[in-house]
Amino acid sequence: MGNKNKTISFRVNEDAFESLQDIAEERDISLSAVFRDYVDQLVEHDGQVAVVPESELESGPAATGEGDDEGLSFPPTVEVPKSFIREHERLELEADHLREQLDEYKSYVNELQGRLEDEQDEVLLLDDLDEDDESYQLR
């Protein structure tokens, strides 16, 4: 069995969202990649990951000799295969297309509901049919 990816969804305030977008732009990656990187690091280090500003890195464990991470760069990087990126972009385009279709279907449903509301006033009573000379047939 293959490893299936799961989706996590949560809300952040607007300021935090803009900060995350800035981080993604600085690193020239998508906002999703920022979260994937963080989650990968969190899992890799068994939940022992702390996000700190670069200015505070000098006073961290590596500066005091407690860690052996001297060969690692910050921020940590993860190589992603181009096929994964292409598939992600394809899925984003497909999602946009489906959203457009959904909007079209919603507008069509609204139009049909409007027609239905207009036609509800057109009630044909059977008593009125008897008074007319025209013949009607029920189907």
* pLDDT tens-digit readout, 25-62: 888 888 888 888 878 888 888 777 776 777 776 654 54
3-state helix, strand, coil in the chain (%, to 5): 60, 0, 40
Cβ neighbours of residue 42 closer than 8 Å, sequence gap 6 or more: 49
Distance between CA 130 and CA 139 in Å, rounded? Answer: 17
| pLDDT higher at 93 or 139 | 93
Mean pLDDT of 127-134: 58
pLDDT at position 97 is 95
For 57-112, the pLDDT digits (tens) are 665 454 444 444 555 666 777 888 888 889 999 999 999 999 999 999 999 999 88
* CA–CA–CA angle 72, 34, 88 (5° rounding): 120
Cβ neighbours of residue 106 closer than 8 Å, sequence gap 6 or more: none
- pTM of the predicted model over 0.75: no
Domain ranges of the chain: 11-79, 81-139
pLDDT at position 66 is 47
CB 106 within 8 A of CB 99: no
Tell which residue, 91, 78, 67, 71, has the closest CA to residue 38: 78
